[in-house]
Amino acid sequence: MSNDEIFAAAYREHYWAVSRYVARRLDGRTSEVEEVVAEVFTVAWRRRGDLPGVPLPWLYGVARNCLANAIRGHGRRRRLLDRLGNDEAAHGRQVVESPDTEPPGAWVHDALDRLSEGDREVLRLTAWEQLDVEEVAVALGCGQRAAAMRLHRARRRLRAEIDRVHPPAATLTKEHGHG
């Protein structure tokens, strides 16, 4: 197969997986998702000679870089709009949510948000993208042992944050004298 055919097969097979990967990280900013996915496959096209036999983890690595660029650009645009006075508060669109609007399990996301970006990414790659450690290593651009260690440490830190944010029931029972 030619490099063009390999790229075309990777595009057909992995377009939606890459789109989901990007969408989950941009939290519903649809127009930006399409831009980032287009950039991912533009980079993949330019580097089609580098596409590995199992391209998805490699494409996730490219997507990570494209996302980082998009997020930096979004931050710059947001700061510019804030300086220009074009923020939501200036237009009376402040939304105040009531305490009962928190979705079930939101505390897990709160705990995840307290982790470093690196920890969040290694956990997302295994949980959301369902990559194994070898594929995580490709996506992160590191060795397999380093990926395994990052995953182990990230899981340990997430567990600690979850326990801090939402203590286990056994701990609550002991604290309240019921155990």
Average pLDDT estimate for 136-164: 92
Residue 36 has pLDDT above 50, yes or no: yes
Mean pLDDT for the stretch of residues 18-30: 85
What lies within 8 Å, CB to CB, of 74 at 6+ separation is 29, 32
Region 61-87 average pLDDT: 72
Tokens found for residue 3: 């490099």
Asked whether the predicted pLDDT for residue 40 surpasses 50, the reply is: yes
How much is the pLDDT for 179?
47
Tokens of 60: 């996730």
Q: What is the pLDDT of residue 90?
A: 45
| Tens digit of each residue's pLDDT (9 = 90 or more) over 112-126 | 888 999 999 999 898
Q: What is the pLDDT of residue 104?
A: 56
Mean pLDDT (the chain) is: 80
- Closest to 61 measured CA to CA, from 142, 169, 154: 142
> Average pLDDT, stretch 81-88?
58
The two structure tokens encoding residue 95: 């939304």
The token pair at 44 is 């993949």
Cα separation of 70 and 56, whole Å?
20
Percent of the chain residues topping a pLDDT of 70: 72
User: Closest Cα to residue 3, out of 73, 50, 64, 57?
Assistant: 50
What is d(CA 60, CA 14) in angstroms, rounded to the nearest whole number?
10
Token pair for residue 137? 């290593």
Question: Residue 63 and residue 86: Cα distance in Å, rounded?
Answer: 30
- Distance in angstroms (rounded) separating the CA atoms of residues 11 and 54: 12
Confidence (pLDDT) at 151:
94
- What confidence score (pLDDT) does residue 71 get? 75
Look at residue 111 in the predicted model and tell me its pLDDT: 80
The pLDDT value recorded for residue 137 is 94
Confidence check: pLDDT of 100 > 60: no
Quickly count helices (H) and strands (E) in the chain: 8, 0
